[in-house]
Structures are given as C-alpha cells and as structure tokens.
Chains A and B, each alone.
Chain A
Amino acid sequence: MNLKPETYQRIDEVITHYPVKRSATLPLLHLIQEDVGHISEEAITWIAQKLELQPINVLEVVTFYPMFRRAPIGRRHIKVCRTLSCALSGGYKTCDTFEKEFCTHRGEISPDGEVTVEFVECLASCGTAPVVMIDEILHEKVDVTKAKQLSAQIKAEAAARK
C-alpha cells in the first residue's frame, strides 16, 4: 500500500488499542479511506494481512457500513440529511439546490469532479434542521439560500485552486 508515513504510524498505534487485532478493522478502513479517498481491492487485502484475517472478513465490513466506499467520489462530499426532522424543515429542497448548483444527481460525481452530493440518514442534529455535512464539517439550518452560499464558496475555492 502506498500510504502517507503518518497513516502507517497511526495504523500501528490504533492496533494496540485492542486485545484482538480484528477490532482494528473499522479504524484501519477509516484511516485508509481518509488517506486514499476510497477502499480499493488492494486495501482490503492489505488490511486482511495486517490484521491476520481473510479478505472476505474485511470486504463484508466494507459493504455493510454506508460510510465506506469502493470507488472515488468528487473532491468535496456533500451529505444532506434526509430523515424526518430535516425533511420537515425543507431538507429535500436543500438537496435539490446542491444538485442544481453543481449540475449533478445524488450519488454521482459532478461533471467538474468537484462534488458528490448524497442523501444520508439522521446526523443527530435535528434541532438545527436541515443539516448538511460537507466533508467533516456540519452545517446547520441549511435552507436554499444557505445551500447556494455554501455552493458558491466551494466553487470559489475550486477556482482559486486552478
């Protein structure tokens, strides 16, 4: 595996947290996904070897948990909460807005490669609905106006990079 030295270090450290190596499956998947962006076939075999498991033991975990993905996504990940409290406060409109702003559909990479917009289930911030997580940051009360602002910000950051 071609990982950052820091990732290797964190992997070795986290394995020590458990009396049974297999427990480190989720932490390793997180660390590798954070480093590489998704979980490749190679990552699955590598983790299996590292934790003395069969690749199927790792694969079945990857396919069970919604946060792990087998393929790359857009540069930024926009997760809009779909569940009841957010929907009651206009979460579907929020999601539509992001889709329109980036000319994309839920679950796909936008044509410019900049974002993947997705619906996710309750993010445990229902009191400030509708909520959206962009990468690791939670944004609260994201109505259509705020969704447009956030989109503009992402576009501006993308333009600045070019």
Chain B
Amino acid sequence: MPAPEQRRIIFQHIDEPGYTNDIDCYLRNGGYEVLKKAVGRKPEELIDEVKKSGLRGRGGAGFPCGVKWGLVDRKSGKPIYLIVNADESEPGTFKDRYIMHQDPHQLIEGTIISCFANNVKQAYIYIRGEMPEGARILEKAIAEARAKNFVGPNILGTGYSCEIYVHRGAGAYICGEETGLIESLEGKRANPRIKPPYFPAVLGLYQCPTIVNNVETLCHVKYIAEHGGEAYAKIGTPNNTGTRIFCVSGHVQRPGYYEFPAGTITMGQLLNDVCGGPLPGRTFKAVIPGGSSAKILRFGERFKGKRKVGTEMVDYDWGVEDVPMDFDSLGMIGTMGGSGGVIVMDDTVNMVEALANINAFYSHESCGQCTPCREGSLWMKKISSRMVHGDARPQDGALLKSVADQIPGRTICAFGEACSWPTQSFIAKFTDEFNNYHEAKKQPKPAAANVLV
C-alpha cells in the first residue's frame, strides 16, 4: 500500500515560499482569528473541546491534554501558571524548532487560548539555551502580538490579561522533564521533584498550580479551538487523534519532518515511501521510533498478539515495517511513540557503538540526584565505551544489562527509565552482536561506516 497523503495542520506553513515569521504575514493568513472567537466563549467550553478532541501531549508521554487540564487545582486561590515546554532536547526530535523559528505566532496564539481557557495570567516559554535565534524570534513575536493587544493587559477589550515571557535554558537535557524545568525556571539546578507531592497541576511553579505543555501540543489546541474537539477527533484513529509529526533522521534518503493523521501510516510507508528508503546499496537494520530513549526495533523481528479494532479483538502479526506509527500500536510492541523522533540505522552500524553513543548522552545528562541513575548511566557509558575503545569481553552484554535493570522504578523521574531502555532493548534484540563484539571489532569496518563514539 502506498503511504497516505501528508496532512499538515501544524506544519501548514512550514517551508512555504514567501511565508515569514512576522505578525503581518500571520494576520494575512487568518492569524489570531481563532483567539478573537475564543475569548468570546466560556473558558470551560474551550476545556471541553480539548477534552472531546482526545488530544494527547506531544512532548513525549502522550498524556491526554484535557485530562491534564482537568487536574489543575482551581480552588487554591493561588495563581495558575502555564509553561510552554520548548526545551526540545530528546535526541532525534526537531519539530518544535521549526514551529518556533518559522511560525512563532501559531504557538503564541495557541498559548494565549490555552491560558484563557485555564484562567492563566502568566505564561513562560522555556526554550532550550541552544536556540538563541528562536528565543529572539519569539520575543519579537510576543512584542508584535502585544502591540496588537493579543497579549498583555485587557486582551481585545475583554478585561482578560495575560503575559508571556521567554525564558532560556542553558544546555541541560533534564530541563525537558517538567519538574526539572520548573526548578530551572525558579533559578535553581534542574533537579526533578519527587511526585507525589509535586504534581505540577497542584504544586508547580512557585508552589502554585502549573500546566506544562509541549510547543506542538499548544498548536494543536489552537486548531481544536478553531474546528472543535469533535472535528479534531475525526482526524487520525480513536485514542490517537489529530495529526502526528514525525522527525526522521539517520540513514534514509530523505530525512526531515512529515505530518500525517495519527495511526494512518506504518513504519514501512514512512521510511520507504516518504523518506525514500535506505541509502544506496544498504539495508535497514534498526530503528528507534520515538526519541533516543524509546526501545529500539530490529528489522526482521515480528510482533504478534491481539489488538482492538473498533469493538473487536483481532490478531496482528507485524514486521517492523507493518507497525502503525501511533502511541498505542508502538506501545503494544514494547516501545513508544514518544516525541516522534525516528532514528534510522542501516547495516553499516554496529549496535555496540550506537549504544555507546546513546549511553554517553544519558551519562552526561543525568542530573545526579538518584544514585541508580547517576551511577548506572555512568557505568553503562564506561562499559560500552570500553568495549569500543578498549577490551571487549563476551560477558559485557550481560554486565550492561545487569546495570540497566537496576535503574528503572528506583528513581525520582522518568530519566531513569529513559536511560535504561536503550541498553535493555539493544542487548535484548542484538544479543549476538554484543556477545561477539570482541571478535567483530577485529574485522575491517564497512567503508561507509561512521565513527559513533
């Protein structure tokens, strides 16, 4: 089956010739019309639309946005904050970058609508430090929107006021984790907080109720406010509504970003039809489907089980190519859709070396609060990099696995899972490659192979 057509609702204007990131261009394209209508509605109605839409967060966890908004403590009498998670730091993910650089007003409109719906008077956009240009673009866009009374005091004469400020991170991945982000925004080290009791919806920024949403999620909210929750829920598949943006990188002919109705495209269609297949003369070996922490899939493995289609349970028997790219299907086969970052590796890649690269990342980024995470990620890095640069032993795979197995479930934040899943899944799926690496490393490498660590 050929791949379905892209449906760009969030990336509609990305890379469009002549489309610029200033407010005039945005207004010419119908910008802020949705906000104008939204502020005439009851906030609860907007929250209802988001609930009906089934929108799931695009930051990684896929948590339903309407449910998250429903958890906000509205009785405390404290101000409610909204934070836009623009930290985009999960390796393999690069969608929010294009929204912020090329269509910043879409994000600002979505943010203000979300703030209005939740009675938020102050929002912060937490953008990663390595996007100084993005930060400047957003600041300029906010100033433009303020000048036109879409942001700031008494928005469009409604008596409702809301400010947005941009806050820059400084190169730490853990600031993407929502409670680490909050600590960072409070001017501290980004050490994630323990839940309970620090659920942001109740005890977030300055111990006030706080909503943290991803950049892309808030753009979907704008679309939902425009078209209604029901119409949105018709895009995609039940429980995986709306569109999904895939960021494809690594060994394909056409890496890049592609937006499809959720659940309508399979991995094979995405990689072969949309991204042009493997590089000349090579074959696909493995793919990480949802950012570097998602468990790896090996081409050639098969997944069998029963799944719900409509009201019926049907058998499925999938190869990697057959898996629909939605949260539930990817979850069913033991991995995740995560942030939509699809990293492709071909037959030139040695899995020990690829894992050593990933382990170096996590070891660098652990915040260090929890011993299993800090020490575990460090030792996984040391062992895998010793395998590559020093002596490799047949039992190293088992050793790595034993370290990885002791991390998840024993840490303050989900980084513990994120750093152990690569090791666990690489070793489970490429056991022989780990066991035989001491032999394999003596052989000449394929000419096209790149150094990975």
Contacts and interface: CB of A to CB of B under 8 A. Distances in A.
B169 interface: yes
A75 interface: no
Interface stretch (A25-33, A97-105, A108-116, A150-158): A25-33
Interface string A75-111: 0000100111101111111000000000000000000
B450 A84 contact: no
Interface stretch (B53-61, B328-336, B358-366, B406-414): B358-366
A20 interface: yes
Q: Assign chain B's interface to a size class.
A: 35 or more
A124 B358 contact: no
Contacts of B184: 26
A85 B50 CA distance: 34
Contacts of B171: 65-67, 120-121
A85 B341 CA distance: 10
Contacts, number: 155
Interface in B73-103: 88-94, 96-97
Interface string B246-279: 0111110001110000000000000000000000
B167 A27 contact: yes
A29 B170 contact: yes
B97 A85 contact: no
Interface in B139-154: none
A20 B186 contact: yes
Contact of A124 (B131, B165, B256): B131
Contact of B168 (A30, A91, A129): A30
B132 interface: yes
B341 A126 contact: yes
B349 A124 contact: no
B318 to A, nearest CB: 25
B64 interface: no
Contacts of B131: 124
Given A124-B94, A124-B97, A88 B248 contact: no
Contact of A127 (B186, B189, B256, B451): B256
A20 B93 CA distance: 32
A87 B450 contact: yes
B280 interface: no
Interface string B173-206: 1000000000011111110000000000000001
B354 interface: yes
A25 B187 CA distance: 5
B392 interface: no
Given A84-B92, A89-B250, A124-B131, A26 B167 contact: yes
Contacts of A125: 94, 97
A116 B227 CA distance: 50
Contacts of B111: none
A137 to B, nearest CB: 8
B292 A138 contact: no
A23 B452 contact: no
B173 A85 contact: no
6 contacts: A57-B187, A66-B171, A67-B170, A85-B250, A121-B365, A126-B94
Given A85-B91, A91-B450, A121-B361, 8 more contacts: A61-B187, A64-B367, A67-B130, A84-B250, A120-B130, A122-B90, A124-B89, A126-B94
**Lowest 3 CB-CB distances: which A-B pairs, in order?**
A25-B187, A65-B170, A126-B249
